[in-house]
Amino acid sequence: MTKRDFTLANGMTFPALGEGTWYLGEKRSAYAAEKESLIQGARHGLTLIDTAEMYGSGKAEILVGDVLKAFSREELTIVSKVYPHNAGIPKIYKSCEASLKRLGTDYLDVYLLHWRGSIPLSETVEGMEKLVKEGKIKCWGVSNFDISDMEELWEVPGGNRCQVNQVLYHAGSRGIEYDLLPWMRARHVALMAYCPLAQGGTLRRGLFQNTVLREMAQHKNCTVSQILLAFAIRDGHTVAIPRTSSAAHAIENAKAAEIFLTEEEIAAIDRVFPAPKHKTGLDIM
């Protein structure tokens, strides 16, 4: 398999495609299949796994902890997220410790503030930096931050040590390309794209039935899902974390790392799913 890695500003390297866990681990009847999906995905190159204390009230982290048992710790990159109301001092330390316990590990590779809350950013940054110094996390970032949030974060002492902003991004949701993404690129903040296959909400409508995408997939002997993943990571500066509970789909997602779109193919997608030419709010679903 073609290896496509991305390197953070701090030098940490991980694959351009990973795995999401939203809604996973919540149903006992699906647990075994979901665990196998994550394991097979990791074995085929999706070695970054994203989770959060919110997902299933910690059940997704427990599932990821079970997956970790099939690998050496260094083989996987684990990302988790703290609730906004837990992002102050001392709650952030307790939340991190609880996540580590559920995951069965002594450190996180990346720890994210799940979304903006009422806790001052300065307090969250202080907590994150302490966790880095204590070795509980290797680095930290944010999620669902628009450009005004990022600008405010950059004004906080230590805020420019933010390595990642995780937001919704796919061919049908390109609003961040107008202002947020260029701002992040200029400051070497990685984009982590959740729902890169538009798994939820109305934005999925039209993607998988689109004639251009279907013909492109047929021409490249792959699936529309793989085209969408290849599009999400096309610039070498994005990490995409599709979620699936199917081992077969996880392997299919991993193979998208082998697909490289030509300039003509990217232009064709641009024509049918153009980036907006004005400011838009962040999509969540």
148-166, pLDDT tens digit by residue?
999 999 999 999 999 999 9
pLDDT value at position 214? Answer: 97
The amino acid that residue 68 corresponds to is L
- Percent of all residues in the chain with a pLDDT value above 90, rounded to a whole number: 91
Q: What is the mean pLDDT of residues 180-206?
A: 86
Is the pLDDT assigned to residue 242 strictly greater than 70?
yes
The answer, yes or no, to whether residue 206 has pLDDT greater than 90, is no
Q: What count of Cα atoms within 13 Å lies in the side-chain half-sphere of residue 280?
A: 16
pLDDT at 69: 98
pLDDT band at 5 (very low <50, low <70, confident <90, very high): confident
For residues 231-248, give the mean pLDDT: 94
Confidence at residue 6, expressed as pLDDT on a 0 to 100 scale = 83
Determine whether domain 5-272 maps to CATH 3.40.50.300.
no
* Spacing of C-alpha 119 from chain mean position: 23
pLDDT reading at 204 higher than 70: no
Please, are residues 60 and 30 in contact by the beta-carbon 8 Å criterion?
no
Query: Average pLDDT in the 218-240 region?
Result: 95
- Can you list the alpha helix ranges (DSSP code H) found in the chain? 28-43, 59-68, 91-103, 121-133, 147-154, 180-186, 211-219, 224-232, 247-255, 263-272
Contact 113, 82 (CB under 8 A): yes
**Under a CB-based contact definition with an 8 Å cutoff, are residues 96 and 102 in contact?**
no
Contact 189, 163 (CB under 8 A): yes
How many C-beta atoms surround the C-beta of residue 228 within 10 A?
Answer: 25
The pLDDT of residue 202 is above 60? no
Say if residue 281 is exposed, middle or buried (CB neighbours under 10 Å; 0-12, 13-18, 19+): exposed
pLDDT of residue 281: 87
AA letter at 165: N
Instruction: Tell me the pLDDT tens digit for each residue of 18-67.
Output: 999 999 999 999 999 999 999 999 999 999 999 999 999 999 999 999 99
| 112 vs 129: CA distance, rounded Å | 12
